[in-house]
């Protein structure tokens, strides 16, 4: 239960919408890494999880995937 009204909200399965992946790809090609490194949640995670390497695009680029939503 997420508190969403399916009659009002639009829910979709990302893997069923190829344009979603395409938009994420396009955004990832034009967004400077410096912008992603300044995302507050990325900085917080770096401080909290010091023993893991978070310097991967999978972690760094997650905000771009969210913006494609």
Give burial (CB, 10 Å; 0-12/13-18/19+) of 5: exposed
User: pLDDT-based confidence at 57, cuts 50/70/90?
Assistant: confident
The pair of structure tokens assigned to 41 is: 């949640």
Cα separations in angstroms, 32 against 37, 46, 47, 53, 57:
9, 19, 22, 20, 12
Do the Cβ atoms of 36 and 69 come closer than 8 Å?
Answer: no
**CB distance 20 to 69 below 8 Å:** yes
Question: What would the pLDDT profile of 10-49 be if each residue is shown by its tens digit?
Answer: 888 889 999 999 999 999 999 998 898 888 887 788 778 7
């Amino acid at each position: 239960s997420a508190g969403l009204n399916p009659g009002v909200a639009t829910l979709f399965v990302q893997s069923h919408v190829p344009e979603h992946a395409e938009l994420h790809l396009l955004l990832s090609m034009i967004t400077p890494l410096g912008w992603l490194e300044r995302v507050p949640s990325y900085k917080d995670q770096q401080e909290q999880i010091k023993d893991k390497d978070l310097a991967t695009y999978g972690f760094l680029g997650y905000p771009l995937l969210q913006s494609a939503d």
